[in-house]
Structure 1
Amino acid sequence: MILAAESFYLSYASRRVRAGVINRRLSRLAEEAPAEKTLQGLLRERGLTESGDFIFGMVALNRLYTQSGITGNPLAFGAMFILAGLVLALMLKLLLALSMVAALSVFVLVGFALPLLVLRRARNKRVQKFARQLPDALDMIVRSLRAGHPSSVAIALVAREMPDPLGTEFGIVADEITFGLSLENAVRKLSQRVGYEGLHLLSVSLSIQSKTGGNLTEILANLSSVLRERQKLRMKIRALSSEGRMSAWVISLFPVVMFIILQFAAPAYYGNVWNNPVITPVFVIFGAWALLGDFVMYRMVNFDF
């Protein structure tokens, strides 16, 4: 009875441990998989080889997929959108009798343009979250170094205590250092996987410190302060530009919303204007002009620094 009760308790406790871990790497390590296999699995599901290099020749596309944080086979991800675009284009052509050019445009937009937009949006959200976490992680490394721990132990501490995305990424760095990669190269690969400019500064700082020497804790503390102040400035600019961004949304969506309302409320409002051969080039010209205005407003309220 005691052995049975203990076995049930250990099974329940192990499930609680796996459910309570704070990042993906720790959850995979909780499954009692070898650390090397866990590292290789984490790299493969991000579209990388077992050594951390890009897996196929289109480096820019591979880098975008890796930096988005989406897990799984990148070929399956692309095939899913291509198949969805093909099915949607065929359905619209059969049901709405669209022309071949319109159906082909739908296929290109859904199969090729939409996945790029999804990846870019996922990458931007992930980089923003990583930017909020990095100053705290650097402070944790600084405190660990001042307590006398080596840099590898300090990075492993961050990997154990921080949630995703930073926890898993620093865990990969800790594992790569454990399996023989230098700290400088591991952080450089981290910068390539994430795409955040703050990590590039960290990589350069570690490279200079390893070649010329210096106080590593002071360097990391100063870098943490700089990144935190940059984050504050970015948030202040976002708050000051919120009125402009909202105006851009209202100005851009108002014509489209009014057009849809009129189509439902008064379908005959435009009369026979749709049969006019001039209507298509007019819509194309004014649509392009509206998109140009949206792009100008976007550049006016977004700042890169």
Structure 2
Amino acid sequence: MKKNKVKEDDGLVREETQGISHLIGESLKHYDFAEDLGRLIIHAGSRASVGSIALTSCGLALAAALVAHLVVGTLPIVALATMIGGSLRYIVLRLQKTRRLARFDTALPDAIELMARALRAGHSMGSSIEVIAEQSPEPLKGEFALCFQQQKFGIPFRDALLAMNDRTPSNDLRFLITAVLVQKETGGDLTDILDRTTQVIRDRIRIQGEVRTYTAQGRLTGWILGLMPVIMLLLLNVVSPGYSQILFSDPFGQKLLYAGGTLIVIGGLIIRKIVDIKV
């Protein structure tokens, strides 16, 4: 296969194999959802392309529809299975993004302390970023290394920092970048600003942990209430095979299933809204 070099928004050049996924990506690039999907791929740290994600989602949707048609056969269930199958790849990307940001935020305070020590030792701001790139774990290592390389290539320091924040939408990183840029404009002791920034970030992480502890019971309640009807239905069919077949074959039973599923989803969303406390 031929290979084509595709220029990304962050200034890097990445090789992408020309094939059906490349053609799909090219045909979708004019749509807003493709731009949002590309941004999500960057935030998740994935090496996939928009075309490959779209192709995989279509394949999963068709496979789920085929299985639902063979097992159940009712059109609404097939449609629901198709939606779930087509959304799996997107859900995986969202989970990857969440885990990546969690690792980034956890390691960021230590990186800021390392930057402050490097500045006290006489390093420049660019050199301190290189120190972080050399001694920090992923994903900090890759992001700060890219930021340092961009500065070496002539990209202004401010633009390199803002590009890193675009690739990693962390509130703590945004707070750090704002503090550094404000110090560049107004002056002041940067090491003292970094120390205070580290303390604020550590306090926020501590409070987030306490909030998750206090809301753990609510999250567990949501999972139990959402999964219990499904588990009970499965257990009833294991104990007495065919006991609930009428729910899937009778029109009124199907309406009850749809109503029950809708109420479960609404209840889960309400509980999630209650326990989702922003810090």
TM-score w.r.t. the length of structure 2 is 0.84
Q: Which has the higher contact order (CA 8 A, sep 6+)?
A: 1
- Counterpart of 1:193 in structure 2 is 167
**Cα separation, 2, equivalents of 1:252 and 1:192:** 35
CA RMSD between the two structures: 2.4
For structure 1, which segment, 241-250 or 170-179, has the greater mean C-alpha deviation from structure 2 after superposition?
241-250
1:243 corresponds to which of 198, 204, 217: 217
**Cα separation, 2, equivalents of 1:274 and 1:79:** 32
**Cα separation, 2, equivalents of 1:228 and 1:164:** 19
- Counterpart of 1:98 in structure 2 is 73
Whether 1:283 aligns to 2:257 is: yes
1:273, distance to aligned residue in structure 2 (A): 5.2
Identical positions, percent? 25
1:129, distance to aligned residue in structure 2 (A): 0.8
Moved over 6 A (4+): none
The count of aligned residue pairs is 258
Alignment of 1:83-232 (within 5 A): 83-93=59-69, 95-96=70-71, 98-99=73-74, 102-111=77-86, 113-232=87-206
1:102, distance to aligned residue in structure 2 (A): 4.3
**Cα separation, 2, equivalents of 1:264 and 1:252:** 20
For structure 1, which segment, 276-285 or 184-193, has the greater mean C-alpha deviation from structure 2 after superposition?
276-285
**Cα separation, 2, equivalents of 1:50 and 1:64:** 14
**Cα separation, 2, equivalents of 1:268 and 1:226:** 59
The superposition leaves residues 270-299 of structure 1 with CA deviations (integer Å, 9 ceiling, x where unpaired) of: 474554321222221221111111111112
Alignment of 1:61-72 (within 5 A): 61-72=37-48
- Counterpart of 1:233 in structure 2 is 207
TM-score w.r.t. the length of structure 1 is 0.77
Whether 1:60 aligns to 2:20 is: no
Bigger Rg, structure 1 or 2 = 1
Which sections of structure 1, spanning at least 5 residues, go unmatched?
1-40
**8 Å contact from structure 1 (residues 82, 107) kept in 2:** no
**Cα separation, 2, equivalents of 1:275 and 1:253:** 23
- Counterpart of 2:11 in structure 1 is 51
**Cα separation, 2, equivalents of 1:275 and 1:51:** 56
After superposition, the Cα gap between the structure-2 partners of 1:216 and 1:70, relative to the gap in structure 1 and judged at 3 Å, is same
**8 Å contact from structure 1 (residues 184, 206) kept in 2:** no
The superposition leaves residues 220-272 of structure 1 with CA deviations (integer Å, 9 ceiling, x where unpaired) of: 21111111110000011111222222222222211111110101111244474
**Cα separation, 2, equivalents of 1:107 and 1:291:** 18
**Cα separation, 1, equivalents of 2:260 and 2:75:** 23
Which sections of structure 2, spanning at least 5 residues, go unmatched?
14-24
1:52, distance to aligned residue in structure 2 (A): 5.4
Question: What letter corresponds to residue 89 of structure 1 in structure 2?
Answer: A
1:50, distance to aligned residue in structure 2 (A): 6.0
Whether 1:81 aligns to 2:57 is: yes
**8 Å contact from structure 1 (residues 52, 189) kept in 2:** no
